[in-house]
Amino acid sequence: MIDMKLTTALEKIKTLELEIAKYKQLFESSRDALMTIAPPSWKLTSANKAALELFEISSLTELTTLGPWDLSPERQPDGRLSKEKAQEMIEVAMRNGSNSFEWENSTTNGKSFATDVLLTRLSIGGETFLEATVRDIDDKKKIEEKLRQERDFSTRLVENAPVLIVVLNKEGKIVRFNRYIENLTNYSIDEVRGKSWFDIFIPKSFKEKIKNLFFNAIEDMQTDGTVNPILTKEGMQREVEWHNKTLKDPQNNTIGLLSIGVDVTEHLEEEKQLKLFRTLLDNSKDSIEVVEPLTMRYLDVNDTACRKLGYSKEELLNMSVYDINPLLNSDFASKIYEELKQKGNINLESIQQNRDGLQIPSEVSATLIELDRPYIVSVVRDITERKRAEQTLRESEAKLQSITTSAQDGIIMIDNNGDVFYWNEAAEKIFGYSKKEAMGQEMHDLITPKRFLDAYRSGFDHFKKTGEGNVVGKTIELTALKKDTTEFPVELSLSATIIDGLWCAIGIIRDITERKKMENEIKLKEEMMLAQSKQAAMGDMISMIAHQWRQPLAVIGMNINNLKVSIDLEDEITKDDLLKHADSVSVQLKQLSDTIDNFSNFFKPNQPKEKTTIKDILKETLNIIGTSLSNNNINLNIKDTTKSSIFINKASLMQVLLNIIGNAKDMIIAKDVLDAKIDIVAHEDKNKVTISICDNAGGIPKSIINKIGSPYFTTKQSLNGTGLGLYISKTIIEKHFFGKLTWHN
């Protein structure tokens, strides 16, 4: 009787394992990445093989340490942080029951790709979580599905079935148990023999209940399939399905209890997982169909197949693939079955016809599974959009060919060896080589001057391995070589692409000979304007020198007059008097000399760049213009919070400051402004210095504010303005210092 009960329990396990294996195969056959996300951390808790492959993660353990945002770049294409947006998508799914959206994902290696995500809220066993169905819509990576065939399933299940056998006496103390219990619990029989089963193996929360049941029923106990937990030596809990029978002696006296148990911990968990797998499969974006190979009748379908085809599940289970696929006949079906028996898995394109007669182009991945009998499990993907995309791609390729043929820029493509495999008509005109001459040639030998060859080849060796380089993704200017050995300047935009798993390069090349000629002419013109501007400022500088010299000369003259008066009055002139006058004259002469140095330094040609500070530049600028401002009763207020040193041409920045401060001074004087003032504020932020100059002369008329800064435009005709000051200042700041010069009221 005990053996029969054990056989019954094993058969139940076998049936359950058969169903679990079948649906696990369905789950792993999905072409989509299937994952579950659980609160409160919203970490990934499970995933199929497709998910691991999609995100290039080696193990489920590694995956379950991550959240969805960890499989994404820092920001999504709309600029939002991935983590912030992922949490919003999760909240919508939890609130509405589901949420479908596009998402930018990335693998653990940093490769980004777009996906279509469906989040569905599920509740199983009192637990609420989200299931995520993720499809790679870039179609760059195909999920390779390999399903392992389970052979001799029934035999292996019996051989490996966990069976516990324990004998208790009437007091519930352990008489003996088998080796499986030792292995399962890590207790040896010698450790526990004669001790209470309930004290050692039953969790506290179940102890009194099970103990009472035992003593109330020990005289005549016979139970089947009761599930109770037991504890291992480490305190882990295992769920066991028990079959109990009272043991009696020949005189029919009760002597104890024989219990046979099956560890069903994993089976209970797998049963839960089975429900989860079914839910995930029914929510897959692909149709999943289980077919009987010989008749091609449907044995099972997921909800997606029902929606796509327009039939209920009951209707489809009374139909065959012949009813759905107009291309399939018995001969073709037999051929497919034979191929499946040889290969185990095949992929093909076909057509499915829905209830309304609409034909749906489909991609079918079919796998032969041997369980209790053969099954064909098919994952059917609707590729209508892909077919449209392929047609669009063919049209785009035709357009691209037309564009590259008519392009004015040279378009060159080289393979991983550096050999040319694309050379458009513009490249023929630019370099002088025909397409026939260029194809297959090493590009660097063809168009690179010899003195640059070593550097280019060194850079290309790195590029061919990594797709990276100093010029990849940039536009740079280089020197190239024509067929007739003429060197000329070109502008190169270089990008990298992978073809057949190898890095290749695409270069767009423009002949900039004429542009460089024009740039040189413009540069020469600007240098002439800069010199002209300095010369035009000479009059103002002489006026400033006069202001600077007026006081020292007056002091010197006063000393001379005092000596003359003393001589005329025949006053006694002592040695100390002469030394006093001489010292005073020396001080004034030094001030005159310093003024000459300040102005001569400013006008010194071709001054080199030097390390300086904004504070020093402002100080030297005020040495030149400060007296002129003071003599015109203009208050100058400076607030300088900069601390860093800068490496620039000091005289150029001084010229800009003198131009702007001088303009402010001229307008203040022209408008006779009371309480006249000029404020200068300098501050730094990271790697940027900002200098603001503000006066109270009334602002710039709106009618001319957009004309300010144009060459030879001036508002100071009456003051002999040249219109070069602000133009040159703007040129210095923007082209020499790579900054920005703006003005506003």
List, in sequence order, every residue forming a beta bridge with 662; answer none if it has no partner. none
Q: What percent of the chain has pLDDT over 70?
A: 79
DSSP string, 711-734: TT--S-GGGT--S-HHHHHHHIII
**Comparing 152 with 73, which gets the higher pLDDT?**
73
Res 689: pLDDT: 93
Res 297: pLDDT: 92
The residue whose two tokens read 């995933």 is 47
**Comparing 310 with 262, which gets the higher pLDDT?**
310
Residue 607 phi/psi, 5-degree rounding, is -70, 135
Res 318: pLDDT: 92
Token pair, residue 46, equals 């499970």
Residue 574 phi/psi, 5-degree rounding, is -90, 170
148: pLDDT strictly greater than 50:
no
692: pLDDT strictly greater than 90:
yes
What contacts 24+ positions apart, CB below 8 Å, involve 95-104? 97/121, 102/137, 103/72, 103/76, 103/134, 104/72, 104/73, 104/76, 104/77
Could you count the other beta carbons within 10 Å of the beta carbon of residue 617? Answer: 21
Confidence band, pLDDT 50/70/90 cuts, at residue 604: low
Confidence band, pLDDT 50/70/90 cuts, at residue 690: very high
Res 26: pLDDT: 61
Confidence band, pLDDT 50/70/90 cuts, at residue 733: confident
Most confident option among 189-203, 246-260, 264-278: 189-203
3-state secondary structure (DSSP) of residue 472: strand
CB of 288 within 8 A of CB of 301? yes
How far apart are alpha carbons 629 and 624 in whole angstroms? 10
Token pair, residue 387, equals 């077919």
Residue 370 phi/psi, 5-degree rounding, is -105, 105
| CA proximity to 652, closest of 575, 721, 736 | 736
Residue 420 parent element (H or E): strand 420-423
How far apart are alpha carbons 155 and 394 in whole angstroms? 54
457-468: b (≥16 Cβ within 10 Å) or e: eebbeebbeebe
Mean pLDDT (whole number) for 584-613: 64
Token pair, residue 376, equals 């064909």
Mean pLDDT (whole number) for 684-698: 91
First-to-last C-alpha distance (Å) of the chain: 103
What contacts 24+ positions apart, CB below 8 Å, involve 85-88? 87/42
Res 151: pLDDT: 42
List, in sequence order, every residue forming a beta bridge with 504; answer none if it has no partner. 497
3-state secondary structure (DSSP) of residue 477: strand
Q: What angle do CA 737, 741, 745 make, to 5 degrees?
A: 165
Mean pLDDT (whole number) for 703-724: 63
Token pair, residue 117, equals 């995500």
CA dihedral 469, 470, 472, 473 (to 10 degrees): 140
Res 154: pLDDT: 34
Token pair, residue 150, equals 């389970």
- Sign of CA pseudo-dihedral 318, 324, 329, 331: negative
Q: What percent of the chain has pLDDT over 90?
A: 7
Most confident option among 322-326, 364-368, 690-694: 690-694
382-439 pLDDT, tens digit each: 888 888 877 776 766 666 666 666 667 888 888 988 899 888 888 888 888 998 898 9
**Comparing 558 with 140, which gets the higher pLDDT?**
558
376: pLDDT strictly greater than 80:
yes
Instruction: Tell me what the pLDDT averaged over the chain comes to.
Output: 80
Residue 49 parent element (H or E): helix 49-54
664: burial class by Cβ within 10 Å (0-12, 13-18, 19+)? buried
3-state secondary structure (DSSP) of residue 382: strand
How far apart are alpha carbons 128 and 143 in whole angstroms? 29
Residue 136 CA: distances (Å) to CA of 53, 106, 118, 203, 710: 11, 11, 12, 47, 55
Res 506: pLDDT: 87
Res 258: pLDDT: 84
How far apart are alpha carbons 381 and 286 in whole angstroms? 5
Res 505: pLDDT: 87
Residue 178 phi/psi, 5-degree rounding, is -85, 175
Least confident of 301-305, 338-342, 361-365, 606-610: 606-610
CB of 402 within 8 A of CB of 378? no
507-524 pLDDT, tens digit each: 888 888 888 888 777 677
340: pLDDT strictly greater than 80:
yes
Amino acid at 407: A
Token pair, residue 353, equals 């016809």
The answer for 658, left when phi > 0, alpha when psi is -120 to 50, beta otherwise, is alpha
208-233 pLDDT, tens digit each: 888 888 887 777 777 777 888 889 99
Res 677: pLDDT: 93
Token pair, residue 517, equals 């000629």
Res 640: pLDDT: 92
Residue 393 CA: distances (Å) to CA of 142, 199, 400, 460, 644: 19, 73, 10, 30, 55
Residue 355 CA: distances (Å) to CA of 107, 318, 319, 478: 40, 14, 12, 64
Alpha helix ranges (H) inside 241-354: 265-282, 303-309, 313-316, 321-324, 330-343
How far apart are alpha carbons 166 and 183 in whole angstroms? 14
The residue whose two tokens read 């079919």 is 366
Q: What is the DSSP letter of 419?
A: B
Most confident option among 283-287, 583-587, 642-646, 652-656: 642-646
Amino acid at 282: D
CA dihedral 691, 694, 699, 700 (to 10 degrees): -20
Token pair, residue 611, equals 């390390």
The residue whose two tokens read 């109770």 is 228
| CA proximity to 185, closest of 226, 235, 240, 225 | 235
